[in-house]
């Protein structure tokens, strides 16, 4: 099985630079999903960025996931919410968005954590960091999840490139926006 691409956008670029980088990435092949992390952006800056990027990605057949409060998903016209938080945050997102929109989670630290959150009617679970290098433990946890559970898994390997990643059997591989495509 070949993993689908789950791009993780860079938030250190201006909206027009990010849009150009995404166009380059879309020209290289299909992108199943795009996570638009908030990073250190303030609320208004994040909304402005999302209002530029969401329609562009969706026009290319890519589901867009944002970070923040559940109400932000509908406000921005996104396809779902990526939750980096505890069970309470996940339950609030599910209550507000399901079944119409996607709710996915990250920030998984153990098998127990993954199974507990996986029982909450989520659509995907992301293993590994959004930036930096992936640990051997996170890679092993992703492999275990992909082999034993039905909920789709994303292996986030921020330092991998399209020709060098190992999906570990996961349905999606989380890759950074190709730096070569981004005007810096």
Residues 123-134 have pLDDT tens digits of: 999 999 998 889
Give the mean model confidence (pLDDT) for residues 111-137: 94
**Is beta strand 153-156 parallel, antiparallel or unpaired with respect to 102-105?**
unpaired
Residue 183's pLDDT is 41
Section 17-22 average pLDDT:
93
Q: Which of 126, 121, 90 is nearest to 106 (CA)?
A: 126
pTM of the model: 0.92
Which domains, and CATH codes, for the chain?
A: 4-181 (3.20.20.70)
Q: Distance between CA 169 and CA 148 in Å, rounded?
A: 11
């Amino acid at each position: 099985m070949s993993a689908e691409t789950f791009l993780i956008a860079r938030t250190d670029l201006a909206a027009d630079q990010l849009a150009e980088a995404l166009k380059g990435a879309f020209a290289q092949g299909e992108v199943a999903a795009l996570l638009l992390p908030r990073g250190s952006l303030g609320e208004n800056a994040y909304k402005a960025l999302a209002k530029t990027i969401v329609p562009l990605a969706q026009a290319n057949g890519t589901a867009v996931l944002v970070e923040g409060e559940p109400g932000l998903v509908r406000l921005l016209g996104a396809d779902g919410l990526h939750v980096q938080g505890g069970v309470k945050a996940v339950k609030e997102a599910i209550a507000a968005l399901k079944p119409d929109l996607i709710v996915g989670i990250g920030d998984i630290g153990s098998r127990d954590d993954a199974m507990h959150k996986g029982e909450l009617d989520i659509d995907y679970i992301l293993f590994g960091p959004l930036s930096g290098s992936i640990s051997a433990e996170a890679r092993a946890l992703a492999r275990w999840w992909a082999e034993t559970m039905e909920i789709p898994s994303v292996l986030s390997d921020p330092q991998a490139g399209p020709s060098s990643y190992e999906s570990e059997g996961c349905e999606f591989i989380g890759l950074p926006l190709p730096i070569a495509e981004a005007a810096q």
